[in-house]
Every structure is written in structure tokens, then in C-alpha cells.
Chains A and B, each alone.
Chain A
Amino acid sequence: GIQVEQSPPDLILQEGANSTLRCNFSDSVNNLQWFHQNPWGQLINLFYIPSGTKQNGRLSATTVATERYSLLYISSSQTTDSGVYFCAVPISGGYNKLIFGAGTRLAVHP
């Protein structure tokens, strides 16, 4: 089945720093989602991004489907950005069954 790999697994930042999280997938996909799981456990939708680039405030995401990767950019990080970031892709023909990566655990220190 499709493999989804995220890097780095852990990331520690000082407030105000920028970072790039990466998601590689082993097969072609028709869409991709980025989520933020905050320290309270909520899964928050960040981006639904099959291809191209989207921006939402300090966050932006780029998916290059032909090269099977997606990037999540966090600029001017804040302590509230802490948590785990997941990317997820659906299996082709799999009834929108999402396969999640293992996540990137981000800690932003003041």
C-alpha cells in the first residue's frame, strides 16, 4: 500500500523562527490534507491541497503531486504552533480512506 513519510520527526524552534515540514508519499494521489493536532488533542484542518500552493496567514503549503511530496511552511512561529503536524493522503479507489504519516512533533519555545 501507499507509504507516507514525514520529516523531521521532531522539531524544536525558538519563537519567531521559520520552519519547513515535509511529507513524501510513495504513490500518486489525488489530494492531500495537512492537520495540526494541538496539545489538547484536537485535529485541526490546515490545508486541503491536491496540488499547487495555498496560504493561510503564517502558514502555507505546496504539493508537487508529480514528484510525490508536499511541504508545510510555518513562518514567524508562535508557541501556539506547538503540537503534532500530520499529512494524510487517500488511497486511490479506497473510498477516501486516509493514510496518515507518523507526524512531525513541533515544540516552539518563547
Chain B
Amino acid sequence: DTAVSQTPKYLVTQMGNDKSIKCEQNLGHDTMYWYKQDSKKFLKIMFSYNNKELIINETVPNRFSPKSPDKAHLNLHINSLELGDSAVYFCASSRPTSGLYEQYFGPGTRLTVT
């Protein structure tokens, strides 16, 4: 029954590795997002997809690559992980961006890079 789910919940890995985080929503929404929360709890948007099309691409290192296989899924792949990538990554979804709709967030994935 979880509306927005993410896997894994925790991810501990070493510098230089490549990792992926998966997100799925069962709300029937067309738009999905990735946000990053840093150690000071500051939340900032990274990417957004609408119906599998990338519509928001903030200033994020190109080591981060989102992929949306269908409108219910949005994955985040990170190459060559760095210490500064340690953060909590949240997935969110909403109805289409043609209007301004409420966003619903997943439980977050805590990434620790050692």
C-alpha cells in the first residue's frame, strides 16, 4: 500500500563505486522527482521526469544519471561515488506539471560513501 517506495533504504559503499537507487509510485502520477537532503537537512531538487521525459535537470554532476523506464518508476544511478555524495536521497511524485500539484515523498535512501 506504500504510495512512493524506494530501495534500498540504506546504502553504504566505498569511493569510486557505482550504485543505483530505485523508486516506484503506485499513485498513478505522471511526474516524478529526485531530491537530495544534505547533512544540514537542506532539501534541493535534482531531477524531474514527466511521463518518462526529463523536464528538470538541476546543476548536478553528470556522474548522476536518472532513468525512467515507465511513468511509475524513476531510478537514480551514480557513477564514481565521492565522499560528498553522502546524503539522503528522496524520490517524490505528483500529478502532471501542467498544474501545480501536491508532491508526495518516499521514505528516502541514506547513502554513505566511505
Contact = CB atoms under 8 A, between A and B. Distances in A.
Interface of A: 30-31, 33, 35, 37, 41-43, 45, 48, 50, 84, 86, 88, 90, 94-98, 100, 102-103, 105
A90 B41 CA distance: 19
Which 10 A-B pairs give the minimum distances between C-beta atoms?
A43-B105, A48-B102, A100-B43, A95-B97, A96-B97, A31-B100, A95-B55, A30-B100, A41-B108, A90-B100
Chain B interface, DSSP helix/strand/loop, else mixed: strand
Contacts of A31: 100, 102
Interface of B: 31, 33, 35, 40-45, 48, 50, 55-56, 88, 90, 94, 97, 100-105, 107-108, 110
A102 B43 CA distance: 8
15 contacts: A31-B100, A33-B103, A37-B41, A41-B107, A42-B105, A43-B90, A45-B105, A94-B56, A95-B56, A96-B97, A96-B100, A98-B35, A102-B40, A102-B41, A102-B42
Contact of B108 (A43, A84, A102, A103): A43
A94 B94 CA distance: 14
B100 A100 contact: no
